[in-house]
Amino acid sequence: MTYGSRQPPFPSPYPPQQGPGAAPPPVVIDVGSDTKAPVLVGAAVAGGIGLLSIYSAFTGQVEGGGGTAVVVGVLG
């Protein structure tokens, strides 16, 4: 079932679309040499805190009961 009279296809007022052009070169900011030392220091500090919390959980030096010790051990 059609409504109204049959009309020719609507002519597009826009020019035909073309594919995207060449992409600009990516912007690269090299921070590898600048952040190496702080990352190593941060990892060492975080590792030390984690080992300390695991040791505290296993030796019972955590206040709050067994559940708290389990949570400290898992997060450590």
Residue 71 falls inside a structural domain? yes
Q: Which domain holds residue 60?
A: 42-75
Indicate the pTM of the whole model: 0.49
Residue 57 falls inside a structural domain? yes
Residue 19 falls inside a structural domain? no
- Split into its structural domains, the chain has a count of 1
- The H-assigned helical ranges of the chain are 32-59, 66-75
Q: Which residues contact 68 (CB under 8 A, 6 or more apart)?
A: 62
Task: Return the structure tokens found at 59.
Answer: 């030796």
pLDDT per residue as tens, the chain (76 positions) = 567 777 666 666 666 666 677 778 888 877 777 788 888 899 999 999 888 888 888 887 777 777 877 887 887 7
Gap between the terminal Cα atoms of the chain? 71
Residue 52 falls inside a structural domain? yes
Q: What is the mean pLDDT of the chain?
A: 78
